[in-house]
Chain A
Amino acid sequence: MKELDVRGLSCPAPVVSVKRALEAGEGELRVILDNGAPRENVRRFAQGRGYSVQEEPFEGGFALTLAGEPKPKLQGSGQAAGPLVMLVGSDRLGDGPEELGRLLMRNFLMTLPELGELPDRMLFVNTGVLLTAAGSEVLEALEALGNRGVELLSCGVCLDFFQKKESLGAGGVTNMFTIAESLVGARSVVRL
């Protein structure tokens, strides 16, 4: 059984690490983590994906054993496989007054964690990276998305352009190769 130690990592990093390990498809996974939010978030995420979860105290924290098969994400046989990707190409939603557009984007991202089905990955490019940078009003919502297993990736060139490379507030940094690969390999892309 593969073992993953995510002690000391702050949310949503434990969920992101577990998600990657599960997607690598190596059967049962034993996760060693801190009690509290990491334990709750990983358990909720794994159960939501259809895994059984067994918990036991371990060295001051907990060990969770995740077993079983994930729930099939797709219904019907006509749909292509692959992740659902959301491309956030701006810090505004829709055309119109800038102030309204920014408000609508914040409103959208804060509403997203309330939904049952979420994108697998969200890619932030151009002014979209201002949403993932420190000081953004939606960091709390992005953390909630991360805790539900949504992978958040910001364009490194864009962060550099806006001089935000050292102040990323949510998710990770990526490059155009990964962005292009994600878009081409997606079963569906939602562009904002």
Chain B
Amino acid sequence: MVRDGDYVAVFNSVHRVMEAEKLLKDLRLAVLLIPAPRALAADCGLALRYAEDARGEVEGALAKNGLLPRELYRKTGGGFTKLEVEL
């Protein structure tokens, strides 16, 4: 479900990830709610996936609405690289 170069935003609660999904879908941004990849072991087991070209708008909207993820990763090669969640 996650392609190379995709971003995966992991949230700390199911309510936050659902709220974030609704916000981003209302803004017509290309995000997909996915099961958190096993390697990332998120508490709630859910994450948002988006591509590089949507990153700026997605993270901008999340920051503006106080819905930044707990952790952010990028799929590279066979694994995930952890990124800083920028405010």
Contact = CB atoms under 8 A, between A and B. Distances in A.
Interface stretch (B32-40, B50-58, B62-70, B72-80): B32-40
Interface string A50-92: 0000000000000000000000000000000000000000000
A61 B36 CA distance: 37
A107 B32 contact: no
B46 interface: yes
Interface of A: 99, 103, 106-107, 110-111, 113-114, 137, 140-141, 144
In the A-B complex, the 8 residue pairs with the closest CB atoms:
A111-B35, A107-B35, A110-B35, A110-B1, A110-B34, A137-B32, A106-B33, A140-B1
Given A107-B45, A110-B1, A140-B1, A99 B18 contact: yes
Chain A at the B interface: mostly helix, strand, loop or mixed? helix
B32 A103 contact: no
A184 to B, nearest CB: 33
B46 A107 contact: yes
Given A99-B18, A103-B18, A141 B33 contact: no
Contacts of B14: 103
Contacts of B1: 110, 113, 140-141, 144
A134 to B, nearest CB: 16
Nearest to B22: A99
Contacts of B18: 99, 103
Given A103-B18, A107-B45, A137 B35 contact: no
Given A110-B35, A140-B1, 9 more contacts: A99-B18, A103-B14, A103-B18, A103-B33, A106-B33, A111-B35, A113-B1, A114-B38, A141-B1
A103 B32 CA distance: 11
Contacts of A111: 35
B72 to A, nearest CB: 20
A75 to B, nearest CB: 25
Contacts of A113: 1
Contacts of B35: 107, 110-111
Nearest to B32: A137
A144 B35 CA distance: 15
B30 to A, nearest CB: 12
Contacts of A140: 1, 32
A137 B24 CA distance: 14
6 contacts: A99-B18, A103-B18, A107-B35, A110-B35, A137-B32, A141-B1
